[in-house]
């Protein structure tokens, strides 16, 4: 699985849309990927779920625009999801928006040959962003760290100018 597809899947499942715990996705990848590496798999899921290392949770990959940007013709989709191979490129990432006549011509009727969307991305990502913001806010510490205190060496400054956050508090994403 291409690393960009892994990124898109991880973001969709965790902080992007479905808000599931990163360990569930990690476990599936560990079981199914033929090139799975324990350390890389764990690190990627921690990073992409914003549970650790990366805290810019507001940067959410759209499962639609992400694909359009990196594979505008939908070649990857056509190869790995053969039922969409005849879908015109303007609908390859959103086949549910294709008129019925286009779906019939492509021999891919949404709801019959291809599933309907499990969530509305705009609404789901907005809700996840809100929940991530609440989780991060609940872990913020009041005041500025005292300079020279070694316990402050593991703190980061939010890019939005917010209060410092201990790295250890970012390792737990709410379920």
Closest alpha carbon to 9 in 45, 39, 40, 35: 45
DSSP-based three-state secondary structure for 155:
strand
Q: Which of 82, 127, 125 is nearest to 106 (CA)?
A: 82
Task: Mark residue 68 as left, alpha or beta (left: phi above 0; alpha: psi -120 to 50; beta: remaining).
Answer: alpha
Per the CB < 8 A criterion, the answer to whether 83 and 115 are in contact is no
Determine contact, residues 11/54, Cβ cutoff 8 Å. Answer: no
Annotated binding site: 35-37
Q: Which residues are annotated as a binding site for FAD?
A: 35-37
């Amino acid at each position: 699985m291409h690393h960009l597809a892994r990124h898109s899947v991880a973001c969709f499942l965790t902080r992007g849309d479905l808000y599931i715990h990163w360990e569930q996705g990690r476990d599936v990848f560990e079981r199914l990927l033929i090139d799975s590496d324990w350390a890389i798999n764990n690190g990627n899921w921690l990073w992409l779920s914003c549970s650790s290392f990366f805290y810019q949770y507001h940067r959410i990959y759209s499962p639609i625009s992400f694909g359009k940007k990196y594979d505008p013709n939908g070649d990857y989709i056509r190869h790995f999801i053969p039922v969409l191979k005849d879908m015109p490129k303007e609908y390859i990432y959103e086949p549910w928006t294709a008129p019925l006549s286009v779906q019939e011509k492509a021999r891919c009727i949404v709801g019959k040959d291809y599933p309907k969307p499990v969530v509305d991305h705009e609404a789901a990502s907005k809700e996840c962003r809100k929940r991530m913001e609440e989780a991060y806010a609940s872990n913020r510490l009041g005041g500025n760290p005292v300079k020279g205190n070694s316990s402050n060496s593991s703190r980061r400054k939010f890019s939005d100018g917010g209060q410092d956050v201990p790295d250890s508090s970012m390792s737990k994403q709410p379920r």
